[in-house]
Every structure is written in C-alpha cells, then in structure tokens.
Amino acid sequence: MYGHVYKLAQAVIEGIESVENVEVVLCRVPETLPQEVLEKMGAVEAQKQQAHIPICSVEELGNADAIIFGTPTRFGNMCAQMRQFLDATGGLWAKGALVGKVGSVFTSSNTQHGGQESTILSFHTTLLHHGMVIVGLPYTFKGQSTMDEISGCSPYGASTIAGSDGSFYPSKNELAGAYFQGKHVAQIAKKLMS
C-alpha cells in the first residue's frame, strides 16, 4: 500500500537472482480497497509505482517451486488483500498443488512491536495446510543480532519498520535480511527440486 513491502521484495529478488539457474516472477495480489479509500489513506502514489507489476492468479502459485510472500502487518496478521487471495486457494489445496514447495514470508509493520513475528507465524499456518516446506531467515544472517539500530528481521523472516506515519523505509540491515532470505530460499528450493 505504501511501498515498504515492495522495497523488501526488490531485495528478496536480488537475493534470488544471485543463485544460478533460477527464474523469478514478481507479482501482486488484487487490491480490494476502493480507489476513494486508497486516496484517503494516501496510498495512491505507491500504487502508481507498482502498477507495472502483474496481478497473480491463484493458479500461478502451482507453477512455482518456491513462493516468497510479502505482506504488510495488520493488527498482527497479514493484510486483508492477502487473506482474501489465499482464501481462494482451496482448489490448489484439493489437488495438493503446493505440497513440498518452499514457502517463505516477509513483512512490514508501523512500529517496532507492531506484530511482525505474529504476522509471519500466522501466515505459516496457511502454508502448512498446503503442505509447504517453511523456510525463514536463519541466524546465519548476522544482521539479526545487531544492537546498533532498531531493526526488523527475525528467524521467521525479513521485516521492516515503517514508522507510524510510514516515513521510514527499509534500512540497509533490513534490506540485507531480505536479500539473504531470497538467496536462502532459492538455494533450498534448488536442493529440493534436484
């Protein structure tokens, strides 16, 4: 909605692309809020910057070897747009189309204690119901242990703190965490698919 998850996604993609012989597809879930609500929320500019990104269909998920989901945090959970998208994946579940595929999550919240970990962990529930193999952000990413700054990122996945007014953007450390997570997921997916 404001570009924080998109910035993390760009770093995730760079991490994935650092692994040889992988293909990355960036897409977004459908927006469910009316235009007038987006305008009142001040989200129109970020929406314009992301307009070139294609909207994902549920069926496309079945074609991937790994899926890294990015979602803003809303009261300690994924945003409604993502929830609605995932609620439409029953057909994939019935076919077992995501079983054995790698699933990973990253997020953004307004505040340091705004529910980043609970958002990712609650997202994992859906991925586990689909039989996916959960991959997080291991402590081999040393930036998780930084005491030099207030920073997102946890063993569950990369994250950023946007600030209550959305004025903060991912720090170098948070972007490094997203890069690491993308690379880590790609490496694991390659091992599982070989």
Q: How far apart are CA 78 and CA 87, in angstroms?
A: 12
| pLDDT given at position 40 | 86
Q: How far apart are CA 107 and CA 157, in angstroms?
A: 8
Domain count for the chain, please give it: 1
The domain of 11 spans 4-193
Q: Is 89 annotated as a binding residue?
A: no
Q: Is 140 annotated as a binding residue?
A: no
pTM: 0.94
Q: Is the pLDDT of residue 96 over 80?
A: yes
* Token output for 7: 């910035």
Q: Is 106 annotated as a binding residue?
A: no
We report the CATH number of the domain holding residue 55 as 3.40.50.360
DSSP state of 148: S
pLDDT single digits (tens) 3-22: 899 999 999 999 999 999 99
Band the pLDDT of 63: cuts 50, 70, 90. very high
Q: Measured in Å, how far apart are the chain's first and last C-alpha atoms?
A: 37
- How far CA 142 is from CA of 36, 116, 134, 161, 174, in Å, comes to 43, 19, 20, 18, 11
Q: Is 93 annotated as a binding residue?
A: yes
Q: Is 69 annotated as a binding residue?
A: no
Q: Is 75 annotated as a binding residue?
A: yes
Among the residue ranges 18-27, 43-52, 97-106, the one predicted with the least confidence is: 43-52
